[in-house]
Amino acid sequence: MTAVIRLQTSQPSDAEALTSASRLLELARGKTTDDRRRLLLGIAALCDATPPGAEASPLLGDIFMIIARQAERDIRKALSESLASAEWAPPALIAMLALDEIEIARPVIAASPLLNDHDLLRVLVEATIEHQIEVARRPHISGSVADAIIDRGDPATLTALAANRTAQVSEDALGRLVEHSRRIAALRAPLTRHPRLNDALATQLYQWVGQALREAIGERFRVDESKLAVAIDAVTRPPLAEPKGIEEAVSIIDKEEMERRLVAKLQSAGQLRAGFLIRAIREKRLSLFEHGVTALGGFTLDQVRAAIVRPSPDALFLLCAAVGIDRAVFPAVLEEIRSMSDGWPGGGDVGYHGRMSLPPSAAAREFRALMGHVGG
């Protein structure tokens, strides 16, 4: 069903408009398919007859509200698409559609001029993560809405906000996004291209991005490598205490590089297996686990780290299944990872419970399909 049906109509008189609106209200209360078809045709005609900038008939607002509350999904979706850019639509109806299921809500969240900050903040509080992502993508959202998104701290919504170049993000808010990028790898690429990124924030971001993104930052900003080396050393240098267990292999200054080399050595010797990854988790070595999964599964480090900070553990489950971590062990692995990453991944959709028999090859394909957009 199409969202807008254009009819050739002449400008109706007030009496004709009232009669037409009354007839449409009667059709809106109808239950038959023919009533619905004639209702949409009549609404389209009445909308076409409303001059630009004029207010619609109050009866038309009543009709829309009845449809939104009682009509089938396809009609609500058609209304949302029709009214997405309308300035004369009933604000209460637009606010209602913005809280409907995401396929219905998306057009009005993206474009409706009638949604104010209060409406958008309500969506952030009451609706699903998909709704919140659409709010973060909405052009020209205000600073208060952007701040509310950052306060919530959801990785997917923060990433959408970082990619929204028209959002009114203050320097302080952008600094908070850069700080979040330390643990959320998916934020890094859009932040390197953000129009409000300055020298100070670029230097901070430079510390935890990959080589490709460092080159992108270097093209835009002057980064003092000598000063930065001190900061990077403070981040990457391991503790001076005597290492134990797995840490014996990674106790040199450049911890991440040594972990990568250890993993490469084990892989070349045929010794990189799921048991090593589980041991790394049990010894609280999340970074070593990340490097091991990256090598064993043939994924990118950014994909692995992004999987850990998602709203649900589904991506992490696919990741573990792809490298042969037994399904019976996964709940314990999940809890250990959450204890090392501020509770991530979140406790959202737990659909993985019904997919425990997924073979490694299928899990790897699904993981790449899910995380393929993540780069670095």
161-218 pLDDT, tens digit each: 999 999 999 999 998 998 888 888 888 888 878 888 887 777 776 665 555 455 555 5
Predicted confidence at residue 348, as pLDDT, reads 63
CA angle 185, 189, 193 (to 5 degrees): 150
Across the range 126-148, mean pLDDT stands at 94
The predicted-structure confidence for 252-296, as pLDDT tens digits, reads as follows 335 777 888 888 888 887 888 888 898 889 888 898 899 999 999
Q: Is the pLDDT of residue 243 over 80?
A: no
Nearest one of 173, 132, 174 to 155, comparing CA atoms: 132
* Cα Rg of the chain, angstroms: 27
Predicted confidence at residue 59, as pLDDT, reads 61
Q: Is the pLDDT of residue 12 over 60?
A: no
Q: Is the pLDDT of residue 26 over 60?
A: yes
Across the range 40-52, mean pLDDT stands at 62
Q: Is the pLDDT of residue 67 over 80?
A: no
Which carries the bigger pLDDT value, residue 4 or residue 173?
A: 173
Q: Is the pLDDT of residue 2 over 70?
A: no
Q: Is the pLDDT of residue 320 over 50?
A: yes
Report the mean per-residue pLDDT for the chain.
76
The predicted-structure confidence for 80-123, as pLDDT tens digits, reads as follows 888 888 887 788 889 989 999 999 999 999 999 999 999 999 99
- pLDDT-based confidence at 250, cuts 50/70/90? very low
Across the range 334-352, mean pLDDT stands at 79
Q: Is the pLDDT of residue 42 over 60?
A: yes
Predicted confidence at residue 106, as pLDDT, reads 95
Residues whose CB is less than 8 angstroms from the CB of residue 225 and which lie 6 or more positions away in sequence, other chains included: none
Across the range 6-34, mean pLDDT stands at 55
Which carries the bigger pLDDT value, residue 63 or residue 146?
A: 146
- pLDDT-based confidence at 40, cuts 50/70/90? low
- Report d(CA 177, CA 191) in Å as an integer: 8
Q: Is the pLDDT of residue 15 over 50?
A: no
Tokens 């014996």 correspond to 248
Among 29-38, 81-90, 337-346, the range scoring the smallest mean pLDDT is 29-38
Residues whose CB is less than 8 angstroms from the CB of residue 165 and which lie 6 or more positions away in sequence, other chains included: 194, 195
Which carries the bigger pLDDT value, residue 80 or residue 7?
A: 80
Predicted confidence at residue 137, as pLDDT, reads 95
- Report d(CA 291, CA 304) in Å as an integer: 9
